[in-house]
């Protein structure tokens, strides 16, 4: 164990030591710590970089660009400044990577809104890697990338929140927001005005009113972004309560997956030249799948602890920790309650597959055995 650690490259150890600290609240795993700092959104000709540049070119030089902020933010930046209440599920340790009690790996790029507003910036785009504990399948990965956009555009004084919400200025901001974002998706998808869009009302604690924009893409409605008129409470906390504007946030992977036809979110992280050589032109081109290596399926079944104290995300994380990105998907395939003992049994099917090579039976059996062993030990489940 000690030998293996000593052999890890120094850069990896240094990096990990910023995120994995000796603190009872810390739940960042080595696997996650090694993803931080890869900066795919800054890597020229990477699909995420290409999408990001395309969006930035739409907004033009009027908007300041931020793409290099520290992914460790305080809970004040990530939640309080955005009026996210203390009991919000997004704050829970089951969903978020805590570095210490008061700092997290940012769960969204909205975490940087307030600092830039406080510093006097009025129009900006801010892109970065974000981290969430989540399920495992082809479209979910614990690290992904978001872009946040903010524009302040009206000045004035309003005596109450209601007065503001009913004012024509509030309408002006919402209208500017919708027109701007419709133009943005037309620009990104290059479908001209034929791209069908629909607006839906939504809820975010930091915008009021809040909306979601969907587009019709290959016959299906797809959610593209969340946005809204910045909540007066957010602006007050930044000491810009005489100004009003809008904000939006979007996930770059989801856009890149549909635009480039990339079928699996893990591909963004691959080192395989068969992936990267396809995007050297810096244009949006259709990804040509190269042969996939075969999957290996393994089932694991267990009784949940008697108190039912079991977080699925803890199990997913354990699999990530042991298998890294060799785990492609974990699906619950069976769940039932024993009629007499009333205990719950779950069976998960784990799909292992490498993006870069064939897996051997020996290595997968080893991983699966440790997954069984560690699940029993750490999650107090009883293997079946």
Q: Check residue 330 for interaction with ligand DAH (CB under 6 A).
A: no
| 124 near ligand DAH, rule: CB under 6 A | no
Eight-state DSSP code of residue 293: P
| Shortest distance in whole angstroms from residue 128 CB to ligand DAH | 12
Q: Do 19 and 36 meet the contact criterion of CB atoms below 8 Å apart? A: yes
Q: Toward ligand DAH, which CB reaches closer, 110 or 329?
A: 110
User: Quick check: 148 binds ligand DAH (CB under 6 A)?
Assistant: yes
Site string for ligand DAH, 101-120 (x = CB under 6 A): -------x-x----------
Site string for ligand DAH, 200-229 (x = CB under 6 A): ----x--x------------------xxx-
Pairing of strands 143-155, 243-251: antiparallel
CB nearest ligand DAH: which residue? 249
Minimum distance from residue 113 beta carbon to ligand DAH (Å): 7
Q: 257 with 139: CB under 8 angstroms? A: yes
247 contacts ligand DAH (rule: CB under 6 A): yes
DSSP 8-class letter at 308: -
State the nearest-atom distance from the C-beta of 295 to ligand DAH, in Å: 31
d(CA 158, CA 48): 41
Beta carbons within 10 angstroms of residue 77's beta carbon: 20
Nearest distance from residue 78's CB to ligand DAH, in Å?
A: 10
What contacts 24+ positions apart, CB below 8 Å, involve 187-191?
A: 187/54, 187/55, 187/57, 187/58, 188/51, 188/54, 188/55, 188/58, 188/255, 188/259, 189/215, 189/217, 189/259, 190/284
Report, in Å, the least distance between residue 40 CB and ligand DAH.
Answer: 18
Hey, what are 230's tokens?
């910045």
Rounded CA separation 73/137 (Å) = 27
Residue from 71, 142, 245, 249 in contact with ligand DAH (CB under 6 A): 249
Q: Which is nearer to ligand DAH, 240 or 247 (CB)?
A: 247
The residue count for binding ligand DAH (CB under 6 A) is 11
Q: How far is the CB of 230 from ligand DAH (least distance, A)?
A: 7
The DSSP string of 124-178 is: EEEEEEEE-----BTTB-SEEEEEEEEEEEEE---SSHHHHHTSHHHHHHHHHHH
Closest CB 332 distance from ligand DAH, rounded Å: 25
CB nearer to ligand DAH: pick between 125 and 300: 125
Report the interface residues with ligand DAH, using CB under 6 A. Answer: 108, 110, 148, 204, 207, 226-228, 247-249
């Amino acid at each position: 164990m000690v030998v293996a650690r000593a052999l890890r490259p120094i850069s990896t150890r240094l990096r990990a030591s910023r995120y994995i600290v000796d603190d009872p609240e810390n739940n960042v795993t080595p696997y996650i710590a090694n993803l931080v700092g890869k900066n795919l959104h800054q890597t020229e000709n990477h699909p995420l970089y290409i999408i990001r540049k395309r969006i930035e070119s739409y907004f033009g030089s009027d908007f300041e660009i931020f793409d290099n902020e520290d992914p460790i933010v305080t809970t004040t930046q990530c939640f309080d400044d955005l009026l996210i209440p203390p009991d919000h599920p997004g704050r829970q340790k089951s969903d978020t990577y805590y570095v210490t009690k008061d700092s997290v790996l940012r769960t969204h790029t909205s975490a940087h809104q307030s600092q830039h507003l406080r510093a006097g910036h009025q129009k900006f785009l801010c892109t970065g890697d974000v981290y969430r504990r989540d399920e495992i399948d082809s479209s979910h990965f614990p690290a992904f990338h978001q872009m946040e956009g903010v524009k302040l555009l009206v000045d004035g004084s309003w005596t109450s929140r209601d007065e503001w919400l009913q004012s024509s200025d509030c309408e002006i901001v919402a209208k500017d927001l919708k027109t701007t974002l419709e133009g943005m998706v037309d620009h990104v998808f290059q479908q001209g005005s034929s791209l069908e869009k629909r607006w839906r009302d939504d809820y975010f604690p930091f915008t009021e009113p809040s909306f979601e924009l969907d587009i019709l893409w290959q016959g299906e409605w797809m959610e593209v972004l969340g946005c809204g008129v910045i909540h007066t409470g957010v602006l007050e906390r930044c000491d810009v309560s005489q100004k009003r504007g809008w904000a939006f946030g979007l996930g770059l992977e989801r856009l890149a997956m549909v635009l480039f036809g990339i079928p699996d979110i893990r591909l963004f992280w691959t080192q395989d030249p068969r992936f990267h050589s396809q995007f050297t032109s810096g244009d949006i081109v259709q990804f040509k799948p190269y042969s996939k290596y075969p999957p290996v399926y393994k089932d694991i079944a267990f009784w949940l602890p008697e108190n039912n104290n079991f977080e699925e995300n803890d199990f997913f994380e354990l699999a990530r920790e042991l298998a890294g990105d060799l785990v492609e998907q974990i699906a619950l395939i069976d769940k039932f309650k024993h009629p007499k003992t009333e205990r719950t049994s779950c069976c998960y099917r784990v799909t292992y597959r490498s993006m870069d090579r064939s897996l051997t039976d020996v290595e997968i059996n080893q991983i699966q055995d440790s997954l069984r062993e560690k699940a029993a030990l750490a999650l107090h489940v009883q293997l079946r």
